[in-house]
Structure 1
Amino acid sequence: MVGDTIADLKMGRVAGLRASVAVLTGVGNRDTLKEYSDYFLDNVSELPLLIATKINQNTKRG
């Protein structure tokens, strides 16, 4: 799940997705999103690199 609000990131957790990624260009900030995010991005353009280098290497939560 990629999002900029607590609600976005909570949905990812509830759905059992592999990772929740907070994008800091939206309404949320690092302090408010840290409890619900596995990763932080300053800009969504960084997402492909994060997926390739981090998320695909991890196993699904469970």
Structure 2
Amino acid sequence: MASSTFFIPSVNVIGADSLTDAMNMMADYGFTRTLIVTDNMLTKLGMAGDVQKALEERNIFSVI
């Protein structure tokens, strides 16, 4: 299989309700799967799980 490249510009969402806004944007873009890359501490604190739950609520499958 030949290699290929693609470019996706980053979108940074910050401020109050940014998690909700970011999740809604992902749903609006039509995303159906995501990979959550994090560290052990954010996983232990439950923050990665919060993101995963917000994705699930929008029918977006994710793996941490």
Say yes or no: TM over 0.5: no
Sort the TM-score into its range (normalised by shorter chain). 0.3 to 0.5
What is the TM-score normalised by the length of structure 1? 0.33
Q: Which has the larger radius of gyration?
A: 2
